[in-house]
Amino acid sequence: MPRVQIKKNDMVYVLSGKDRGKTGKVLKVFVDKNKAVIEGINQIQKHTRPNPQKNIKGGILPKESPIHLSNLMVVCKRCNKHSRIGFSVMPDGRKARVCKSCNELLDE
């Protein structure tokens, strides 16, 4: 299983693609595919058929599609900039993610 530096509910910055320069919150991470779904980023148009039983209206609806993790960078909460991620071992033995620019812990 590959090591993933981006987790759910992280704020990320998009490095490349049609939404380059935008930031958004991670909704879901697909570890096996190295992709993530970000709120409001990489939207596609989904054509849906109406289904009255499930109370779904038909039409063309916007939907977020997955984007590759190599095109994303985590935004640090303290310095409010996108930066690389490092790992440090805490005194209790667990690993935690660290911002490389300001050495702030990203995991609580």
Predicted local confidence at residue 1, as pLDDT = 61
C-alpha distance from residue 96 to each of 49, 88, 99 (Å):
45, 6, 10
CB-based contact 33:68 (threshold 8 Å) = no
CB-based contact 65:44 (threshold 8 Å) = yes
Q: Tell me: the pLDDT tens digits for 37-88?
A: 999 999 999 999 999 999 988 899 999 999 999 999 999 988 889 999 999 9
Total count of residues recorded for the chain: 108
CB-based contact 73:12 (threshold 8 Å) = yes
The pTM (predicted TM-score) of the whole model is 0.84
Question: Dihedral of the CA atoms 42, 24, 69, 4 (nearest 10)?
Answer: -150
Please report the domains of the chain, with CATH numbers, ordered by start residue. 1-49+59-75 (2.30.30.30), 80-108 (no CATH)
Q: Tell me: the pLDDT tens digits for 11-49?
A: 999 999 999 999 999 999 999 999 999 999 999 999 999
